[in-house]
Amino acid sequence: MAEAKTVSRGPRHQSLCDAAAQVVYRFGYRKASMEAIAAAAGVSRQTLYLQFENKEALFHATLEHITSRMLVEVRAIANRPGKSTAQTLLAIFEVLCRDTLEQSSRANRVELLETARTQEAELFSRFEKALRAVVTGVLAKSDTMRAWERDGFSARDLASHLLDVSSGVKSSAESLQEYRTRMSLAIRIICARGSSGS
């Protein structure tokens, strides 16, 4: 549907997606206009429409761009040596909400999440699955898992739980600092069962 007309994925495509993200974060999906996005990107509306057939196609490309960039960053964090499980997990979860918490109102964050889940369900589902796999991998390598597994919980169970907690905290937190504080508590609770995860 939204992929009907999306021209190259080069630097211009990326800069248009970055501009679209900024406008959507600031105004929300419904209030973000193609004209405002074009202005933020420093191009004409005609140029924007040459790249994207409509707002839905631009939203799809923007969401794809953002989620791809996030996955690259969280995978790099997950593979970075020398950090505790808790530090690694908190860094991963900060990537998920850093931009929206710094630039969006709570109402816009809720609207964007709902729009992504409804209009881009497949892309959103793929992103969540890939993210769950990264978090599961971090947890699976930790000392924390032995204690949880004895009680019948898998790394995937805990990863799913943390993703659910993150979603709830993200939609209600007023600031990135509040998000960090609340997610840090959730992560510490998970990691407290192991000897080196906290």
Looking at per-residue pLDDT, the higher value among 105 and 83 belongs to 83
State the CATH number of the domain containing residue 129.
1.10.357.10
Tell whether 34 is covered by a domain: no
Tell whether 13 is covered by a domain: no
pTM of the model: 0.85
Q: Burial code of 101-133, b = ≥16 C-beta within 10 A, e = fewer?
A: beebeeebbebbeebbeebbeebbeebeeebbe
The Cα 161–Cα 93 span in angstroms is 13
Tens digit of pLDDT for each residue in 149-170?
A: 999 999 999 999 999 999 999 8
* Per-residue confidence (pLDDT) for residue 196, from 0 to 100: 44
By residue range, what is the domain housing residue 65?
55-191
Does 4 score more than 50 pLDDT?
no
The total domain count for the chain is 1
Tens digit of pLDDT for each residue in 52-94?
A: 999 999 999 999 999 999 999 999 999 999 999 999 999 999 9
**What phi and psi values does residue 110 have, to the nearest 5 degrees?**
-65, -45
Tell whether 39 is covered by a domain: no
Tell whether 176 is covered by a domain: yes
Tell whether 86 is covered by a domain: yes
The Cα 32–Cα 16 span in angstroms is 14
